């Protein structure tokens, strides 16, 4: 049954997460069932310091997000402190793993990227229906997410010291790689969320996300202008003829003859 749950994640629209020393960024691609319908929410706020991005069955994600909210509220009421991110992730992992053992239950058909900040810094975890949990510097789940992972593997060394703006640019670039050729990122189908040590979990949706898309487009246009110039310079260097050896002077000829 777990393999069918994993297939549900692969069929869901993509979500990407990246973390630095101080921030975690989540971006997700929203999907609408039909042109007349609204877009489905892909990022859910759990608490001021934590949120999730989902790929797969949204109803299952709603059940797990409600459970996480209860855990976060209980931590504040009982211990008077925010819920530790690792503890939150392992609590839903235990809940999901129980469903793989009982005859009357089924695995949750959703994968989650859990982003949060606690006393130990910024964290990004990937949750799978089997109950498996791993911490990542950058992760991608959902349909065509392999293209995003390939981009993240090339750039991951730059994440640690990146600013919030740079993290969002990296995440949106990775998310754009998951699109089919006839699709583009726009304010309707893209969601961005950021949480940091000094910044509460904030979701940018609809018109609010347009500022980040404009920034991504301007960077892409700048790179496209620079690439032809670099190619032309390298081509000119390749076409330059090799230096011919200097012809011997008359004086050197006489010297050779004298010897």
Q: In the chain, what's the furthest Cα-to-Cα distance?
A: 106
- Are 107 and 186 spatial neighbours (Cβ–Cβ below 8 Å)? no
Residue whose tokens read 């819920």 = 83
Alpha carbon distances (Å) from 122 to 1, 89, 112, 142: 33, 14, 17, 23
pLDDT of residue 227: 53
CATH number for the domain whose boundaries are 2-220: 3.60.20.10
Question: Which strands make up the sheet holding 199-204, listed edge to edge?
Answer: 138-141, 15-19, 23-29, 190-196, 199-204
Domain residue spans in the chain?
A: 2-220
Average pLDDT across each block of 10 residues of the chain; the chain has 259 residues. List them in order. Answer: 88 95 95 81 96 95 96 95 95 91 86 95 95 95 95 94 94 94 90 95 93 86 58 60 53 44
From first CA to last CA, the distance across the chain in angstroms is 93
């Amino acid at each position: 049954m777990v393999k069918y749950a994993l297939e549900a994640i692969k069929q869901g629209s993509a979500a990407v997460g990246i973390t630095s020393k101080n921030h975690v960024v989540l971006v997700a691609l929203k999907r609408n069932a039909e042109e007349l319908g609204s877009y489905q929410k892909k990022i859910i706020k759990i608490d001021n310091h934590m949120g999730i991005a989902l790929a797969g069955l949204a109803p299952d994600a709603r059940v797990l997000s409600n459970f996480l909210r209860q855990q976060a509220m209980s931590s504040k009421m009982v211990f008077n402190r925010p819920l530790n991110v690792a503890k939150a992730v392992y609590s839903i992992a235990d809940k999901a793993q129980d469903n793989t053992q009982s005859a009357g239950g089924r695995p949750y058909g959703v994968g989650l990227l859990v982003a949060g900040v606690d006393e130990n810094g910024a964290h990004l975890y990937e949750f799978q229906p089997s109950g498996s949990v791993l911490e990542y510097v950058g992760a991608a789940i959902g349909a065509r997410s392999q293209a995003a992972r390939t981009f993240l593997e090339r750039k991951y060394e730059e994440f640690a010291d990146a600013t919030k703006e740079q993290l969002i640019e990296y995440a949106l670039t990775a998310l754009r790689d998951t699109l089919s050729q006839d699709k583009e990122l726009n304010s309707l189908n893209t969601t961005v969320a950021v949480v940091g040590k000094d910044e509460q979990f904030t979701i940018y949706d609809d018109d609010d996300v347009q500022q980040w898309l404009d920034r991504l487009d301007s960077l892409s246009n700048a790179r496209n202008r620079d690439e032809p110039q670099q190619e032309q310079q390298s081509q000119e260097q390749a076409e330059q003829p090799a230096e011919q050896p200097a012809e011997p002077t008359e004086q050197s000829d006489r010297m050779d003859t004298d010897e």
